[in-house]
Amino acid sequence: MNKQAEPDRGAVFITGSSTGIGAACALRLADEGFSVFAGVRNEADGEALEQRTTRPVRPVLIDVTDAGLIAAAAATVADAVGDAGVAGIVNNAGIVRPGPLEFQPLDDFRRQLEVNLFGHLAVTQAFLPLVRKGQGRIVNVGSIGGRLVLPLHGAYSASKFAMEALSDALRLELRQWSIHVSLVDPGGSDTAIFGKTLKAIDEMKARLDTEGITLYDAQVDAVRKLVEKTAADTAPADHVAKAVAHALIAKKPKTRYLAGKGAKAIAVAAKTLPDHLKDLVVAHEADLPAAAS
């Protein structure tokens, strides 16, 4: 009996593929029959990703805040796929810049939006001609933090709430060409972001002046413990990659997906609870300092 031919689903470009969700997406989509162009920040990350699979995964250097590198990545993919275009792009790159908004440097806030929001739009703009040519799809990786905010994560959630609007607008604007746009909101997933967040919290605390420490020390410590607790109970990153694959392959993809530990429960709470109850739940879960009476 002849072995059944593996599907050829076309090419897909993914940002933030060095580790975590992006790497999981690259590996799963390659297994699903896509030719994967994996956006990475450096050659070493690309080589490490290639060693994890025998499937067609081609690293492409990119920084989503660098217009020149975005254009070069789009040109590299265009040269490789020719008239076939791409079957999809996955906007996944992201960072966390924690801090109390009262003391957060505006440059930190801007950097958060540059990577998590403006960078995704810039990549989408560069690759849309290839998506249209290939009758492809767009998948944006958001966060459950785009539905429910944690203290000290205002900048991060601002970028993720904005991704909700960006995805909605793209879905409507691209509807006439039947270009599907899906948003995947991960909950707790086994990625390097937690370690990076803990490091960023420590660095942020070290930069606070005396007044900032006096006002926010207890809150910073409480949120740090919550991040540690969340990091210890996560779902595999492939849970998110599975949702991304469905958004790219399904005949009728969803406009929104929830994946990862606690995502569905948090989404329900964010949608159904009034603000004062949401605040109480978050304050209790994070063991925040009690409100002044």
Domains of the chain from N-terminus onward: 11-262+275-285 (3.40.50.720)
User: When comparing pLDDT for 109 and 3, which is higher?
Assistant: 109
Please, which pLDDT band fits residue 292 given cuts at 50, 70 and 90? Answer: confident
> For residues 201, 206, 210 and 214, what is the CA-based torsion angle, rounded to 10 degrees?
30
What is the pLDDT at residue 190? 87
What is the pLDDT at residue 4? 55
Q: Determine which one of 34, 156, 216, 257 is catalytic.
A: 156
Q: Which residue's entry shows tokens 């413990």?
A: 225
Q: What is the pLDDT of residues 106-141, one digit of tens each?
A: 999 999 999 999 999 999 999 999 999 999 999 999
Please, which pLDDT band fits residue 2 given cuts at 50, 70 and 90? Answer: very low
pTM for this structure? Answer: 0.93
150/66 Cα distance (integer angstroms)? 29
Q: Could you give the percent of the chain with pLDDT greater than 70?
A: 98
Active site annotation includes 216: no
The mean pLDDT of 248-255, rounded to a whole number, is 97
Residue 1, pLDDT > 50, answer: no
